[in-house]
Amino acid sequence: MPRRPPASSTSSPAPSSRRSPCPVACALDLFGDRWTLLVIRDLFLGRSRFKDFTASPEGIPTNLLSDRLERLTESGLISRVPLEGGKRFAYELTEKGKALKPVLLAMKEWGLRWEEGTRADLLNQS
Protein backbone atom coordinates (compact mmCIF):
# COMPACT_ATOMS: atom_id res chain seq x y z
CA MET A 1 0.00 0.00 0.00
CA PRO A 2 1.42 3.41 -0.94
CA ARG A 3 2.44 5.61 1.93
CA ARG A 4 1.05 9.08 2.27
CA PRO A 5 3.30 12.03 1.46
CA PRO A 6 5.02 13.88 4.29
CA ALA A 7 2.70 16.08 6.32
CA SER A 8 4.19 19.26 4.87
CA SER A 9 2.83 18.45 1.39
CA THR A 10 -0.82 18.22 2.44
CA SER A 11 -3.07 20.56 4.37
CA SER A 12 -5.06 18.02 6.35
CA PRO A 13 -6.46 19.02 9.71
CA ALA A 14 -3.87 18.91 12.47
CA PRO A 15 -4.11 15.77 14.58
CA SER A 16 -5.27 17.87 17.55
CA SER A 17 -8.36 19.06 15.60
CA ARG A 18 -9.52 15.57 14.65
CA ARG A 19 -12.34 13.73 16.37
CA SER A 20 -10.13 10.67 16.77
CA PRO A 21 -7.07 9.05 15.22
CA CYS A 22 -9.31 6.54 13.41
CA PRO A 23 -8.56 6.77 9.67
CA VAL A 24 -12.25 6.27 8.79
CA ALA A 25 -13.26 9.14 11.09
CA CYS A 26 -10.50 11.35 9.66
CA ALA A 27 -11.60 10.61 6.10
CA LEU A 28 -15.22 11.35 7.01
CA ASP A 29 -14.12 14.66 8.53
CA LEU A 30 -12.80 15.61 5.08
CA PHE A 31 -15.47 14.26 2.72
CA GLY A 32 -18.20 12.53 4.68
CA ASP A 33 -21.15 14.83 4.13
CA ARG A 34 -23.98 14.88 1.62
CA TRP A 35 -22.28 17.08 -1.00
CA THR A 36 -18.50 16.79 -0.89
CA LEU A 37 -18.07 13.50 -2.74
CA LEU A 38 -20.51 14.72 -5.40
CA VAL A 39 -18.27 17.74 -6.02
CA ILE A 40 -15.28 15.40 -6.23
CA ARG A 41 -17.25 13.15 -8.60
CA ASP A 42 -17.95 16.15 -10.81
CA LEU A 43 -14.25 17.01 -10.91
CA PHE A 44 -13.49 13.46 -12.09
CA LEU A 45 -16.14 13.94 -14.78
CA GLY A 46 -14.35 17.03 -16.09
CA ARG A 47 -16.40 19.73 -14.45
CA SER A 48 -14.19 22.45 -13.08
CA ARG A 49 -16.07 25.73 -12.72
CA PHE A 50 -18.56 26.90 -10.12
CA LYS A 51 -21.35 27.02 -12.70
CA ASP A 52 -20.54 23.43 -13.76
CA PHE A 53 -21.08 22.19 -10.21
CA THR A 54 -24.38 24.07 -9.83
CA ALA A 55 -25.61 22.42 -13.05
CA SER A 56 -25.26 18.91 -11.58
CA PRO A 57 -28.56 17.05 -11.27
CA GLU A 58 -28.42 16.97 -7.46
CA GLY A 59 -28.83 20.76 -7.28
CA ILE A 60 -26.30 21.78 -4.64
CA PRO A 61 -27.18 25.18 -3.17
CA THR A 62 -24.57 27.81 -4.01
CA ASN A 63 -23.77 28.64 -0.38
CA LEU A 64 -23.02 24.97 0.35
CA LEU A 65 -21.00 24.65 -2.84
CA SER A 66 -18.86 27.63 -1.87
CA ASP A 67 -18.28 26.10 1.56
CA ARG A 68 -17.37 22.67 0.14
CA LEU A 69 -14.97 24.12 -2.43
CA GLU A 70 -13.25 26.11 0.30
CA ARG A 71 -12.98 23.08 2.61
CA LEU A 72 -11.69 20.85 -0.19
CA THR A 73 -9.08 23.47 -1.08
CA GLU A 74 -8.00 23.91 2.54
CA SER A 75 -7.69 20.15 3.02
CA GLY A 76 -5.52 19.78 -0.08
CA LEU A 77 -7.97 17.67 -2.11
CA ILE A 78 -8.43 20.30 -4.82
CA SER A 79 -6.67 23.44 -5.95
CA ARG A 80 -8.00 26.68 -7.35
CA VAL A 81 -6.71 27.71 -10.77
CA PRO A 82 -7.25 31.26 -12.05
CA LEU A 83 -8.96 31.58 -15.42
CA GLU A 84 -8.28 34.25 -18.02
CA GLY A 85 -8.87 37.70 -16.61
CA GLY A 86 -8.04 36.57 -13.08
CA LYS A 87 -11.51 37.21 -11.59
CA ARG A 88 -12.85 33.67 -11.99
CA PHE A 89 -11.44 30.34 -10.97
CA ALA A 90 -11.60 26.73 -11.98
CA TYR A 91 -10.87 23.83 -9.69
CA GLU A 92 -8.82 20.71 -10.19
CA LEU A 93 -8.07 17.62 -8.17
CA THR A 94 -4.69 17.39 -6.50
CA GLU A 95 -2.88 14.07 -6.21
CA LYS A 96 -4.55 13.66 -2.83
CA GLY A 97 -7.95 14.23 -4.44
CA LYS A 98 -7.21 11.91 -7.36
CA ALA A 99 -6.44 9.17 -4.84
CA LEU A 100 -10.19 9.09 -4.07
CA LYS A 101 -11.01 7.56 -7.46
CA PRO A 102 -11.10 3.96 -6.16
CA VAL A 103 -13.43 5.08 -3.36
CA LEU A 104 -15.85 6.65 -5.84
CA LEU A 105 -15.68 3.66 -8.18
CA ALA A 106 -16.40 1.30 -5.27
CA MET A 107 -19.39 3.44 -4.24
CA LYS A 108 -20.64 3.42 -7.85
CA GLU A 109 -20.40 -0.37 -8.02
CA TRP A 110 -22.12 -0.75 -4.65
CA GLY A 111 -24.95 1.56 -5.73
CA LEU A 112 -25.43 -0.30 -9.01
CA ARG A 113 -25.58 -3.63 -7.21
CA TRP A 114 -27.74 -2.72 -4.24
CA GLU A 115 -29.82 0.35 -5.13
CA GLU A 116 -32.59 -0.28 -7.62
CA GLY A 117 -32.96 2.31 -10.36
CA THR A 118 -29.36 3.52 -10.33
CA ARG A 119 -27.41 3.69 -13.56
CA ALA A 120 -23.78 4.12 -14.53
CA ASP A 121 -24.02 7.21 -16.73
CA LEU A 122 -21.58 8.88 -14.39
CA LEU A 123 -18.07 7.73 -13.55
CA ASN A 124 -18.07 5.13 -16.31
CA GLN A 125 -14.32 5.31 -16.65
CA SER A 126 -12.76 2.58 -14.55
Q: What is the pLDDT of residues 60-70, one digit of tens each?
A: 999 999 999 99
Domains in the chain and their CATH numbers? 20-114 (1.10.10.10)
| 96 burial level (CB within 10 Å; 0-12, 13-18, 19+) | buried
Residue 86 has a pLDDT of 81
CA–CA gap between residue 101 and residue 60 (Å, rounded):
21
CA dihedral of residues 6, 10, 14, 18 (deg, nearest 10): -110
Residue 58 has a pLDDT of 94
pLDDT-derived band at 9 (thresholds 50, 70, 90) equals: very low
